[in-house]
Amino acid sequence: MNTYFNEITSKPVNTVDGKILYKIPAGAICGNGDLGVVFDNGDKGLVIHISKCDFWKFAPGVHRDGGIKTVGNLLINDVNLSSYNIKQYFDKGLLECKFGDIEIEFFVAPENLIYFEIKTPVSAEFPRVDIETPSTCDSVNFVSETDGVKCFVRKFEGENLQCDSAVAVCCKEISSYEENGFKCVRYCVSVVTNFDNSEYEVKAADMLVNCDYDADKLRTQEKWQEFFSASKVTLEDKVIESYYNSSLYHLAGCMGNREFPPGLFGNFITDDFFPWAGDYHMNYNYEAPYYCVFTSNHPELFDGYMAPVNDMKGEAKRFAKLFGCNGYAFPVSFGPKALDVYSMAECKEHGVLFLGQKSHAAYACVIPIMHWFSTYDKEYARENYYDFVLNTAAFWEDYLVKQNGRYVIKGDAAHEIPYYRGEKFRSLTHFGQINTVNAINSLGLVKLLFKAVYDMAKEIGLNEEKYALWEDINKNLSDFPTFIKKGKKCFRYSKFGIRWRDENTVGLQHIYPASQIGFSSDEKLLKIARNTYFMNDRRLDDNGSNSYLPAGARIGVDPAFIIEGIHQNIKEFAMPNRLFRHHGGGIEHLTMVPATINEMLMQSYEGVIRLFPCWDKKSDASFENLRADGAFLVSAENKGGKLTVLKIKSLKGRVCNVDCPDVKRIVRESDGAEIAFARVGGTVTFETTADESYVLI
C-alpha cells in the first residue's frame, strides 16, 4: 500500500442533513505552504477555491467582518462530475483528476504558481476556464488586462482598517497540443498579495511570462520528496501510517509563509465567513498544529510561528499592565500584524476578551519551548523567541502569589468563562471560575515555562540575575490539585473553582503538551494521571483528541486503547481529503495522528530517549530520524518483539541518555570506534560529537 496516496471517488459533500460541517471542506486539497486550493462543485462544473495565508481583512473588533478571506475561485466549466475520481499524491504534491473522459493534472508550485493541464478527446467540447473574485465583506474588485492576460484584483482598504490588503490573480494558457486523439491545454495561475510585493499586479503578470510547467512540476515533486525524506515511520497498520503521512502533508501545505502562519483553518478558505474569523486562538488552537512538527523532524515548519506572537509584544505589555504586572500577557485571540479581534467594550476584564484566563501567553510559549529542547539552536532562540519567553516569565514572576512558601496562581480560570461580558453576565454564577486558585493547566504551563526559560538563559548566557528566583519558583510552585472521584484519586481542575468537567481535555494538558508527567515521574503521580485519564474517555473530543491521545502515550496507557482511539477518529471524523471534521478548528487535529504515533514510538522530553515506550511489541514498527530533545535524530526498529536497529545522530554534540538496558556496545559510525558509556539501571549515557552518528548494539 502506498501510504503517500489517497483517492477520492465521489463529489465532495460539505453538508450533513443540510448543516454545514463546521466549514471543513471535503474536496481535494493542494498547497505549497502559503497558497492553497480546495476542489468543490458548481452548477457548471468544477469550482476550485483559492486562498492564501496572508490575505486578510484587517477590520478590528470582535464579531465584525475582519479575518482571513478567500482570494477567489478558479472555474473549470462544462465538466460533468457524475463520474468522479481524484488521486492525491502527497509525496509529489500532485493531483490527478478524471471526470468522465476529461483528465486534469493539477499542482501548486513553490513559487505561488498554480498549474493544471486539461486533456479531453478532440471530438469533445473543451471546458471553459475562468476566474471569479467575490465582492463580499465590502471588498473592492476590478479586472485589468495586459498583453492578453487578465488580472483580477481583490482588495480591502479604508480608514477603518488597521492596514490595507490586496491580492492579484492572473491566469494564462501557456501551451496547447494534440496527442493520440486528445487535446491538451496547459494553464498557469499566479497569485500575489501586497505583502509579497507592493507592485502586486505587475508581479502577478510578470510571473506568467517565463513560467515553465515541466520545470515547476519537477521542483514541486522534489520539494515534497525532500520533505518526506526528513523522517519516516513504517507501521503494520497501513491505514494509520497513511494518515500519518497525509496529516504532515496538509500541515506543511499551510505552514510556509514566515510572516503569516496558518490560523484556525489554514489556507483552505472557501468563502469570507469562516468561524472566529479564522484567527489565532491562543488557548491551544494556534499551538496544537505544531505539537508534532519537531518530533517528526520538521522544525522548519515552526519558522512562521513567532511572527504574529512577536507582532503582539506592544499589546502584550499593555495587557500585562492591566493586571498590575510587568512582562507579556495575551487575550484569547488575535490576528496577524496584531489585528485586534479581542476588544469588546462590555467585557468585564478591561474591555478585552481574556475570558477569565491569564495563561494564553504561557500557552504560546509551549511551541518555542519544544523548538528549544529539540534543537538547542542558541542563535535562533535569541533572535526569534527568547525575549518573548523571558517576558512571559516576567509576567508570572509578578502574578504568582507566594503563600506559606509555595507559589500560588489566583484568578486564572481553567476553562474559558464564556459569558464574561454583557449585562446578562452574573458574577455569582461563575464565582468559582472568577476566583479560581491553581488551575491545573496553568500550573503545568507555568512549570514548563520556568524550567525552559532557566535552561535557555543558562545555555545562551543571559539574565543570571534571575536564576535564584527561577530556581525558587521551579522548586516551590504549587502541586497539582487532586480529589477523590468515584473512589479514585484524580487530578482536580483547580484547587478552588471547577472540580471537574466532562468535556475537553483541560484537566490533562499539564501532561501533554506541558510535559510535566511521564515515565520518570513518581509512580503515585503516574497512577493519579492514569486514573484521571480513564475517568472520562476523551478520544473523540471535538477539541482535545489531539492532546488526549499523546497524553496517553506519555503516561503509558494500554497502546491498544490509543490505537483504537485513532481508528475511531478516522471513522467518525475523517473527510475524504484527509482533513478531520472536528469542531475546534480546521488544522489543529491534523497533529493528532503524527503526534500520538511519535510519542508511542519514541519519547525524550525528560532528557532520556525511550524507544517504543508505549507500543505493542508484537506489532512490527520502525522509524527513521524522529527528533529527540537534546537535538538528536533517532532511528529504530521493533521486529518480532525485539529492538533490532538503534542509531542516533547527534546534531549539537550534547550528552545522550538512552533507556535501553540491552545495549552492550556503542560504535561511532564515521570510523567504527567504540565509545565509552556509563550505565545506571537501564539507562546508558555517553558523550557525543556534533554531526556524528552512533550505532547502539
Looking at residue 586, what DSSP letter applies?
A: S
Q: What is the pLDDT of residue 332?
A: 96
Residue 571 lies in a domain: yes
Q: What is the pLDDT of residue 220?
A: 98
Q: Is the pTM of this model over 0.85?
A: yes
Residue 397 lies in a domain: yes
Phi, psi of 75 (to 5 degrees): -105, 125
How far is it, in rounded angstroms, from Cα 609 to Cα 518?
A: 12
DSSP string, 396-462: HHHH-EEETTEEE-BS--SS--TT-BSTT--GGGGHHHHT-EEEHHHHHHHHHHHHHHHHHHHHHT-
Distances (CA, A) of 601 to 181, 253, 301, 448, 517: 52, 25, 21, 23, 17
Cell triple for 541 = 473530543
Residue 250 lies in a domain: no
> What number is the average pLDDT over the span 274-303?
96
pLDDT class of 20 with cuts at 50, 70, 90: low
Q: What is the pLDDT of residue 21?
A: 66
Phi, psi of 384 (to 5 degrees): -110, -35
- Strand, coil or helix: 91: coil
The answer to whether the Cα torsion of 409, 411, 412, 414 is positive or negative is positive
Helix (H) or strand (E) holding 696: strand 692-696
How far is it, in rounded angstroms, from Cα 174 to Cα 211?
A: 8
Cell triple for 650 = 547527534
Residue that is last in its domain, among 447, 481, 515: 481
pLDDT class of 475 with cuts at 50, 70, 90: very high
- Strand, coil or helix: 384: helix
Q: Based on the domain organization, do 126 and 197 belong to the same domain?
A: yes
Residue that is last in its domain, among 170, 205, 233: 233
Full domain range(s) for residue 560: 502-600
Give the residue among 320, 390, 327 at the shortest CA–CA distance from 358: 320
Helix (H) or strand (E) holding 610: strand 609-611
3-state helix, strand, coil in the chain (%, to 5): 30, 30, 40
How far is it, in rounded angstroms, from Cα 648 to Cα 633?
A: 6
How far is it, in rounded angstroms, from Cα 369 to Cα 647?
A: 25
Where would I find the H helices in 63-212? Answer: 200-209
Tell me: pLDDT of 305 over 80.
Answer: yes
Q: Based on the domain organization, do 509 and 475 belong to the same domain?
A: no
Q: Based on the domain organization, do 330 and 477 belong to the same domain?
A: yes
> What number is the average pLDDT over the span 60-87?
94
Q: What is the pLDDT of residue 4?
A: 98
Q: What is the pLDDT of residue 431?
A: 87
Residue 258 lies in a domain: no
Tell me: pLDDT of 583 over 80.
Answer: no
Instruction: Name residue 103's amino acid.
Output: E
Q: What is the pLDDT of residue 18?
A: 67
- Strand, coil or helix: 7: strand
Helix (H) or strand (E) holding 180: none
Residue 241 lies in a domain: no
Q: Based on the domain organization, do 95 and 222 belong to the same domain?
A: yes
Residue 252 lies in a domain: no
Tell me: pLDDT of 585 over 80.
Answer: no
Within 10 A of 226 (CB to CB), how many other CB atoms are there? 10
CATH number at residue 318: 1.50.10.10
> What number is the average pLDDT over the span 167-182?
95
Q: Give the list of residues 6+ apart from residue 360 with CB closer than 8 angstroms, or none.
A: 282, 283, 329, 330, 331, 332, 354
The answer to whether the Cα torsion of 380, 382, 388, 390 is positive or negative is positive
State what percent of residues in the chain have pLDDT above 90: 91
Sole residue written with cell 546508558: 684
pLDDT class of 16 with cuts at 50, 70, 90: low
How far is it, in rounded angstroms, from Cα 403 to Cα 391?
A: 23
Least confident of 61-70, 140-149, 208-217, 422-431: 422-431
The answer to whether the Cα torsion of 381, 382, 384, 385 is positive or negative is positive
The answer to whether the Cα torsion of 251, 253, 258, 263 is positive or negative is negative
How far is it, in rounded angstroms, from Cα 629 to Cα 608?
A: 8
Q: What is the pLDDT of residues 412-430, one digit of tens each?
A: 999 999 767 777 788 878 8
Q: Based on the domain organization, do 457 and 410 belong to the same domain?
A: yes
Residue 268 lies in a domain: no
Reported residue count of the chain is: 697
Q: Based on the domain organization, do 124 and 176 belong to the same domain?
A: yes
Q: Based on the domain organization, do 458 and 519 belong to the same domain?
A: no
Q: Based on the domain organization, do 664 and 581 belong to the same domain?
A: no
Q: Give the list of residues 6+ apart from residue 337 with CB closer than 8 angstroms, or none.
A: 58, 162, 163, 308, 311
CATH number at residue 145: 2.70.98.50
Q: Please, what is the average pLDDT of the chain?
A: 96
Q: Based on the domain organization, do 428 and 518 belong to the same domain?
A: no
Q: What is the pLDDT of residue 64?
A: 82
DSSP string, 488-535: EEEE-SEEES----SSSSGGGTTTTTT---STTS-HHHHHHHHHHHHH
pLDDT class of 290 with cuts at 50, 70, 90: very high
Least confident of 311-315, 344-348, 542-546, 596-600: 344-348
Q: Please, are residues 577 and 87 in contact by the beta-carbon 8 Å criterion?
A: no
Tell me: pLDDT of 147 over 90.
Answer: no
pLDDT class of 567 with cuts at 50, 70, 90: very high
CATH number at residue 637: 2.60.40.1180
**Domain count for the chain:** 4
Tell me: pLDDT of 43 over 90.
Answer: no
Distances (CA, A) of 231 to 223, 492, 636: 14, 38, 12
> What number is the average pLDDT over the span 431-437?
91
Residue that is last in its domain, among 213, 233, 253: 233
Q: Based on the domain organization, do 539 and 463 belong to the same domain?
A: no
Distances (CA, A) of 556 to 511, 520, 595: 12, 11, 15
Q: Please, are residues 593 and 247 in contact by the beta-carbon 8 Å criterion?
A: yes
Q: Based on the domain organization, do 118 and 210 belong to the same domain?
A: yes
Residue 492 lies in a domain: no
How far is it, in rounded angstroms, from Cα 133 to Cα 198?
A: 20
Q: Based on the domain organization, do 224 and 355 belong to the same domain?
A: no
